[in-house]
């Protein structure tokens, strides 16, 4: 009887494996932690098969899930391969941390485990998957604040464009307002951007040009203040606090 029962169980296992053959079976567990190692609950998680889909937040590999009280979520029936993880909760995200993971399909009981750190990131203030559009409205030099619309045209033409930041780390400068030259195009500059580890400096690297650094004075979902070096008609290059607002 014991022999027959064991044989029956073995046949069940073989039958189950045969039925599952060719179907995706990999499992991915994701633990979401804050920088202190605390579990983060109620975080929204999407996974994507390509970096492009992650950048643009399209074609998720599975339906979005929300972490439990223990900061855990599990995706099942995955194909083996590379996945890109997107985690968000309020101002917390993983955009500047662990994004890519490799999922293995080793056996029915194998679980891929990934620990993802989220932090209060200025990236989600500045950028989005479709691009956040920013318009400079004032320039402050030596405690004097001047609306961009009141600047001399030679300076205004450099600041009345629209600055667009994308989640992917790309930016565009869209030509608006007064043109600095007749050859100015609709997208007059493109390149990459990134924050330093503390979020106090943003590095802008235009294609074919040297990188420049702006100090982050403050940031929110609809207002940014960067300190940049701009010409002053009396004092030459001068630290300038430029306020940007979110625009359509």
Strands 26-33 and 44-48: unpaired
- 104: tokens are 């293995």
Q: Which two tokens stand for residue 10?
A: 């073995």
DSSP 125-154: HH-BTT-EEEEEEEEEETTEEEEGGGS-HH
Residue 5: what pLDDT?
53
pLDDT (0 to 100) of residue 56: 94
Same domain, 220 and 236: yes
Residue 7 phi, psi dihedral angles, 5° rounding: -65, -40
- CB-CB contact of 244 with 135 (8 Å): yes
What was the pLDDT predicted at 121? Answer: 83
| Domain co-membership, 140 together with 215 | yes
Q: What is the total count of domains within the chain?
A: 2
Distance CA(248)–CA(246), nearest Å, equals: 7
Q: Do 22 and 51 share a domain, yes or no?
A: yes
**Predicted local confidence at residue 21, as pLDDT:** 53
Q: Residue 32 class from Cβ within 10 Å (0-12 exposed, 13-18 middle, 19+ buried)?
A: buried
Paired tokens of 132: 């956040």
| CATH at residue 104 | 2.60.40.10
Same domain for 10 and 42? yes
Tell me the mean pLDDT per 10 residues along the chain, length 248: 48 43 82 96 97 96 96 96 96 92 89 95 91 95 91 83 94 84 77 91 92 93 91 74 92
Q: Nearest Cα to 188, choosing from 218, 211, 151, 163?
A: 163
Whether 144 contacts 61, CB under 8 Å: no
pTM: 0.80
Q: Are residues 109 and 148 in the same domain?
A: no
Domain of 147, in residue numbers = 126-247
pLDDT value at position 235? 64
Length of the chain: 248
């Amino acid at each position: 009887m014991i022999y027959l029962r064991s044989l029956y169980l073995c046949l069940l296992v073989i039958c189950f494996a045969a039925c599952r053959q060719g179907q995706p079976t990999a499992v991915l567990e994701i633990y979401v932690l804050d920088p202190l190692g605390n579990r983060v609950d109620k975080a929204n998680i999407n996974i994507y098969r390509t970096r492009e889909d992650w950048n643009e937040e399209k074609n998720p590999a599975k339906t979005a899930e929300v972490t439990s009280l223990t900061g855990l979520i599990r995706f099942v029936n995955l194909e083996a391969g590379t996945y890109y993880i997107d985690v968000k909760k309020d101002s917390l995200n993983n955009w500047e941390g662990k994004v890519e993971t490799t999922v293995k399909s080793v056996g029915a009981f194998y679980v891929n485990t990934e620990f993802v750190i989220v932090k209060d990131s200025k990236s989600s203030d500045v950028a989005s998957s479709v691009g956040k559009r920013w318009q400079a409205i004032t320039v402050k030099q030596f405690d004097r604040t001047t609306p961009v619309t009141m600047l001399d045209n030679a300076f205004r033409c450099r600041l009345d464009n629209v600055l667009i930041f994308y989640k992917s780390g790309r930016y565009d400068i869209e030509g608006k307002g007064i043109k600095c030259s007749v050859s100015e195009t609709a997208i007059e500059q493109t390149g990459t951007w990134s924050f330093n580890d503390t979020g106090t400096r943003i590095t802008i690297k235009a294609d074919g040009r040297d990188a420049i650094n702006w100090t982050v004075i403050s940031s929110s979902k609809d207002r940014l203040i960067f300190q940049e070096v701009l010409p002053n008609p009396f004092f030459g290059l001068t630290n300038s606090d430029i306020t940007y607002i979110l625009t359509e």
